[in-house]
Amino acid sequence: MSTQRLHVGIIGAGRIGKVHAESLAFRVPESRIVAIADVNREAAQAVAARCGIATVAESSEEILANPGIEAVLICSSTNTHADLIVQAAQAGKHIFCEKPIAHNLGQIDRALAAVEAAGVKLQIGFNRRFDANFARVRQAVVSGEIGSPRMLHIISRDPGPPPLAYIRVSGGMFMDMTIHDFDMARFLIGDEVEEIYTAGGVMVDPEIGLAGDLDTALIVLRFRNGVIGTIDNSRQAAYGYDQRVEILGSEGKIATENCYPNEAVISTGKMVRKDLPLNFFMDRYTESFASELRSFVAAVREDQPTAVTGIDGRIPVVMGLAARKSYDEQRPVRLEEVNG
């Protein structure tokens, strides 16, 4: 294992770039951020000032050309991910890339081929695998604590929809939002999905429908091992960020509830209540963001496989394509139909 800190460059200083920069700077002492770049230079300068990053690079090319940078975090817009992975691999940099790699399987395969040819490490940013609650659910399945899993239910509802400008370029709800749930389904059950059926609609904002997307969906998954799964998605939950999981097994069940800013319960003559859940992913998944970066840094420093591979990044995109095809054609779709 290397005793030196891993020298990292960050490409992208938007919302998730800022989260990752703060995690590395303040919570992962085994790393050092050498430089950051963003097309919005002011955003990069603000993150650099906040996180003590010495260099604000002019471009991603400057990051990749820097011989003092061993690994890069790709936190830019999705349409840049695949090309940046290829360029980073060719530059010999280890890569952490936010999801999804791309919306197109051909672009994903080109990126993964470049990573394999270069012999560098790639980890995809499915941070929920590193959440303590969901990790405990996975442990219960692996250990046989609840027997053989039979049914999985994932509830994932946002407190409010993203801006329409984002929705128009996001690739749709299945690629932007549900993709995390597709990854969680595979991770928690430990098997692959073979068929998907989607029922969905536009119930939150008609403008989302005019942009060609959905905002509400129920997705049924059939796993190869016979497990039946459901994913319950909404772009808006009036009470906040709703993130829950339940697995029913032959010997019992395991379930996780939402996370709250405190555990206080207020009881009066009129009602019993508690405060609303933590509001949105920056608060709910703070620790998991740090944990996934610790895992990536450790994999590079110890020359071990990454915890979330390129294939783990590819399969949820296949699932997203199948989910959309199912909605459009109003029928179950086998993943092999879209896995070109």
Residue pLDDT tens, the chain, 340 long: 556 899 999 999 999 999 999 999 999 999 999 999 999 999 999 999 999 999 999 999 999 999 999 999 999 999 999 999 999 999 999 999 999 999 999 999 999 999 999 999 999 999 999 999 999 999 999 999 999 999 999 999 999 999 999 999 899 999 999 999 999 999 999 999 999 999 999 999 999 999 999 999 999 999 999 999 999 999 999 999 999 999 999 999 999 999 999 989 999 999 999 998 888 787 888 999 999 999 999 999 999 999 999 999 999 999 999 999 999 999 999 999 998 7
Total domains present in the chain: 2
CB-based contact 335:224 (threshold 8 Å): no
293 inside domain? no
56 inside domain? yes
Instruction: Collect all residues with Cβ–Cβ distance below 8 Å to 334 and sequence separation of at least 6.
Output: 194, 195, 322
CB-based contact 129:100 (threshold 8 Å): no
CA angle, 119 as apex, 118 and 125 as ends, to 5°?
A: 100
Domain that holds residue 19: 6-120
Single residue among 94, 120, 146 that ends a domain in this structure: 120
In the sheet that holds 193-201, the strands lie side by side as 252-256, 242-249, 149-157, 228-234, 216-223, 193-201, 333-334
Pairing of strands 71-74, 6-11: parallel
Nearest to 162 by CA among 176, 182, 174: 176
Residues 185 and 153 in one domain: yes
- How far apart are alpha carbons 2 and 87 in whole angstroms? 25
Residues 179 and 218 in one domain: yes
323 inside domain? yes
pLDDT at 58: 94
265 inside domain? yes
How many alpha carbons fall within 13 Å on the CB side of residue 52? 7
- Both tokens assigned to 224: 């190869």
CB-based contact 156:178 (threshold 8 Å): yes
Residues 113 and 140 in one domain: no
* Coil, helix or strand at residue 265: coil
Residues 323 and 212 in one domain: yes
E-only strand ranges, the chain: 6-11, 31-37, 55-56, 71-74, 94-97, 122-124, 149-157, 193-201, 216-223, 228-234, 242-249, 252-256, 266-267, 272-273, 333-334
Residues 28 and 93 in one domain: yes
